[in-house]
Amino acid sequence: MNTRPLVLFFIFLILFLYNCAAIGPASGGKIDKEGPKLLSISPANGTKNLNLNQNIVLTFSEPVDPNSVKASIRITPKHHTKLNIRRNIITIIPVLPWDRQKNIRISIERNIRDYQNNGIDSAIEIVYSPTTNLYFNNLSGKLHNIINQKVYNVGLFNYPIEDSLKLIYKTQSNKNGEFNFDYINENNYIIIATDGNVDNIYKSFRFHTYGMNTDEFIKITKNDSIHADLYIDEALVKLNISNGKFLGNNYGELNYSNGEIEKFYFSTDMNTIYPKHLKINKISSDSILIKSILNNRLSTYTTSGFKLLNSIFNDTIAPTLILHEYNNNEYHLNFDEPILMNKNINNIAYYYDVDSSMVPIYFLQETPFNIRTNHKINSNQLHIKPNSILDYSSNVFNDSLETIIINQSITSQPTINNSFGQLSGKINNINSVVMVEAKNNDSGIKYYTKSEDNIFLFKKLDPGEYFIRAFEILNDTTRENIYYSGNIKPYSRAAKFALHPSKIDIRARWEIEGIEINFNEE
């Protein structure tokens, strides 16, 4: 009996089952929390005179999930390639020969992961030259004020800026906020990091945290190795008016792009507009154009105009009290529509003291929707006189006595702490006046002081642990305490900054001296 065909069949079957077996997490044992590590690159990174048909082989420490690979590999300039993924080996195969005239940059993002969904720790940058032309320049850096484990995208852009920023190189920070660009051309660059998309940096500035270079630009010359520190700060939000409507004659509400709702009012002659940051213009007998002048962290800007059609309302509904509260020792009454206080009534409200004597309360009109008093109300009941509050259509808030129940518990004052510590020190390697910030690690409260002759002093700090930061003052005088993190439209660099390397423990009635904050040497 010839058994050879049967033996060959079983060998084929075993090989088939082995190749089709699912590669996944092994059951039992220690949980895998580490991502794949790159063990080797073939040919070696930085190879010159690359064979134009050369495959690029990456070997990792463990099998990688094929579904995570394709979107994580970017080749510059773009080139038609195929990917062969076999367990822990990724092979990049050029379908057509590599371009002889251009260096090849292969960027691998941290999204490559194993079957336990652990990503690689650091982005990988591989550069080859089909000729002998290869720049041995390096730009590395570190991001500060980052969220642990978050991936930040880092881009190098052209400088000077022509019509718009042009992205030249991009990479990602590792889990410690460190990044690296190897084999980059001699040029002048702007560097920007963001937790958004560096390919659409203008949008990322508005919606994502970011940081950028603290010099006007970064100059890369032959065989340079430069380090850059970037401080990640909040987005430069620029809102738009997304919707709006009239709620009555000459008043309504606006909806902003972040979901906030704002009431507005304007008098018929346009002499009164509320809030004051609005610009309202009549563009026809039945429509208005509204713009809003707003502030973000660093600048003032004006929204695009929003057109609203005005309707004539036959208002027969009385105003409604929607909120009454203490705020900074002032008592506020907020209404759902613009109101007026009856000029024929001297004081519109009163309460009875412990002797049952009537105590008048005088209110001031703070906004069209709000009245306030700074008189202390020593009672839990406030009485509003009849016919004392009305809307612009003469609808009366109350045609009889209205009593408001007051919650006095919210007027209590916080305990004042008179036990402070003192902190002083020196600023090194910068000649200008800087702002020094002490941030309490527990409460998050920030204290500020300016340096004088490179010396700083905090006279009163609450006890606790503090992070200390110093930065150039590039903002205007109304925003001196705010770190200037730079802008791209119009372009302006970020302020230089320096961080004290460790937390400082402040204790009551202690004086800590000799703290040094070192800026990078210029």
Domain range annotation of the chain: 34-134, 241-309, 321-411, 421-518
Mean pLDDT, all residues of the chain: 91
Q: Which residues does residue 300 pair with via DSSP β-bridges, in sequence order?
A: 295
Of the candidates 107, 271, 238, the residue with the CA atom closest to the CA atom of residue 184: 107
Paired tokens of 276: 């004051």
pLDDT in tens, 422-466: 999 999 999 999 999 999 999 999 999 999 999 999 999 999 999
CA distances from 242 to 246, 257, 291 (A): 14, 5, 11
For residue 265, pLDDT over 50 is answered with yes
What's the pLDDT at 23?
46
Of the candidates 463, 461, 462, 419, the residue with the CA atom closest to the CA atom of residue 436: 461
What's the pLDDT at 124?
95
Q: Do domains 321-411 and 421-518 have the same CATH topology?
A: yes
Which residues have CB under 8 Å from 22's CB, separation 6+? none
What amino acid occupies position 484? Y
Paired tokens of 180: 């690296």
| Cis peptide leading into residue 43 (ω within 30°) | yes
Q: Just give the CATH number of 34-134.
A: 2.60.40.3710
Of the candidates 390, 379, 381, 278, the residue with the CA atom closest to the CA atom of residue 344: 390
What's the pLDDT at 17?
44
322 backbone φψ class: left, alpha, beta (φ>0; ψ -120 to 50): alpha
The whole-angstrom separation of Cα 319 and Cα 464 is 49
Query: 150-185 burial, b if ≥16 CB within 10 A, otherwise e?
Result: ebbbbbbbbbeeeeebeebbbbbbbeebebbbbbbe
CA distances from 298 to 238, 482, 486 (A): 11, 8, 9
Rg (CA), the chain: 33
Once rounded to an integer, what is the mean pLDDT over residues 164-174?
A: 94
The whole-angstrom separation of Cα 315 and Cα 338 is 12
For residue 346, pLDDT over 80 is answered with yes
Please, is 260 exposed, middle or buried when counting C-beta atoms within 10 Å of its C-beta (0-12, 13-18, 19+)? Answer: exposed
Q: Residue 5: pLDDT band by 50, 70, 90 thresholds?
A: low
CB 91 within 8 Å of CB 121:
no
Once rounded to an integer, what is the mean pLDDT over residues 208-228?
A: 96
What's the pLDDT at 126?
96
What's the pLDDT at 353?
93
Whether domain 421-518 has CATH 3.10.10: no
What's the pLDDT at 343?
92
| Cis peptide leading into residue 77 (ω within 30°) | yes
Once rounded to an integer, what is the mean pLDDT over residues 219-228?
A: 94
* Residue bearing tokens 């003052």: 473
User: Alpha helix locations (H) across 81-152?
Assistant: none
What's the pLDDT at 16?
47
The whole-angstrom separation of Cα 171 and Cα 144 is 17
Once rounded to an integer, what is the mean pLDDT over residues 346-368?
A: 94
Q: Just give the CATH number of 321-411.
A: 2.60.40
What's the pLDDT at 32?
77
Of the candidates 328, 370, 352, 499, the residue with the CA atom closest to the CA atom of residue 427: 499
The whole-angstrom separation of Cα 241 and Cα 259 is 10
What's the pLDDT at 310?
86
Expressed in percent and rounded to 5, the helix, strand and coil fractions of the chain are 10, 45, 50
Task: Give the CA-trace dihedral at 149, 153, 156, 159, to 10 degrees.
Answer: -110
H-helix or E-strand spanning residue 515:
strand 511-518
The whole-angstrom separation of Cα 75 and Cα 80 is 9
Please, is 254 exposed, middle or buried when counting C-beta atoms within 10 Å of its C-beta (0-12, 13-18, 19+)? Answer: buried
3-state secondary structure of 491: strand
| Cis peptide leading into residue 63 (ω within 30°) | no
Once rounded to an integer, what is the mean pLDDT over residues 157-171?
A: 93
